[in-house]
């Protein structure tokens, strides 16, 4: 029999609200995030050690400004020279991968989790998750939302306030709701 966690990780409909193992994993992660957000800002090494306990994979150089929240943590991968400003939220019910040299402005959300469009299924508490992949050398402006199933290429700028619902090719600037390419960049 397939577990709810297996369904979640496979991108199938699953029930996160009544599966005890998923509930325990979320609570454990949220407790670690709470602890992280309570560490004094100048204690960067202590913060770094705790982030390594929260997220699935990191490289050496990274910084996530507080506050930071995520669902499970183990589905998050941070590349080298990763920086996120305040209020980063990652709903990591599926893999959320950040490449090298990714800079994220304040108040950004990466939402791998989603819900069915038809209300009878949605009202049953079912949801699904799709992975998010961010390439190398990406700058994400303030108040950006990236939805599940999206891949953002390399050398991309996502303008402040954009909602990214479709894949973004390499070497461009995207803006708007939904985000659309507005300018090419030199590779």
With contact defined as beta carbons under 8 Å apart, do 172 and 183 qualify?
yes
Angstrom distance (rounded) from CA 141 to CA 139: 6
Q: For the chain, what percentages of helix, strand and coil (3-state, to nearest 5) are there?
A: 20, 30, 45
User: How many Cβ atoms are within 10 Å of 151's Cβ, its own excluded?
Assistant: 16
115 has catalytic annotation: yes
Average pLDDT in the chain: 97
Q: What is the pLDDT of residue 14?
A: 96
Q: What is the pLDDT of residue 59?
A: 96
pTM above 0.85, yes or no: yes
| Catalytic pick among 5, 86, 115, 181 | 115
Angstrom distance (rounded) from CA 140 to CA 24: 32
- pLDDT digit string, tens, across residues 152-174: 999 999 999 999 999 999 999 99
Q: What is the pLDDT of residue 1?
A: 79
- pLDDT digit string, tens, across residues 12-53: 999 998 889 999 999 999 999 999 999 999 999 999 999 999
Distance of CA 84 to the CA centre of its chain: 11
Q: What is the pLDDT of residue 29?
A: 98
Q: Which domains does the chain have, with CATH numbers?
A: 4-184 (2.160.10.10)
- pLDDT digit string, tens, across residues 125-162: 999 999 999 999 999 999 999 999 999 999 999 999 99
Which residues have CB under 8 Å from 109's CB, separation 6+? Answer: 88, 89, 90, 91, 144, 145, 146
């Amino acid at each position: 029999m397939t577990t709810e966690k297996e369904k979640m990780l496979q991108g199938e409909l699953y029930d996160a609200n009544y599966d005890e193992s998923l509930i325990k994993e979320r609570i454990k992660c949220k407790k670690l995030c709470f602890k992280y957000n309570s560490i004094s800002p100048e204690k960067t090494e202590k913060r770094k050690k705790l982030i390594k306990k929260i997220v699935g994979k990191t490289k050496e150089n990274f910084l996530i400004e507080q506050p930071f929240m995520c669902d499970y943590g183990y589905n998050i991968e941070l590349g080298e020279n990763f920086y996120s400003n305040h209020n980063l939220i990652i709903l990591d019910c599926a893999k959320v991968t950040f490449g090298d040299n990714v800079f994220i402005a304040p108040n950004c959300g990466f939402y791998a989790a989603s819900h069915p469009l038809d209300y009878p299924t949605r009202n049953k508490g079912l949801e699904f998750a799709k992975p998010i992949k961010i390439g190398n050398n990406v700058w994400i402006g303030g108040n950006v939302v990236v939805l599940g199933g999206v891949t953002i290429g390399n050398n991309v700028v996502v303008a402040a306030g954009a909602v990214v619902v479709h894949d973004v090719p390499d070497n461009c600037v995207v803006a708007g709701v939904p985000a659309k390419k507005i300018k090419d960049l030199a590779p």
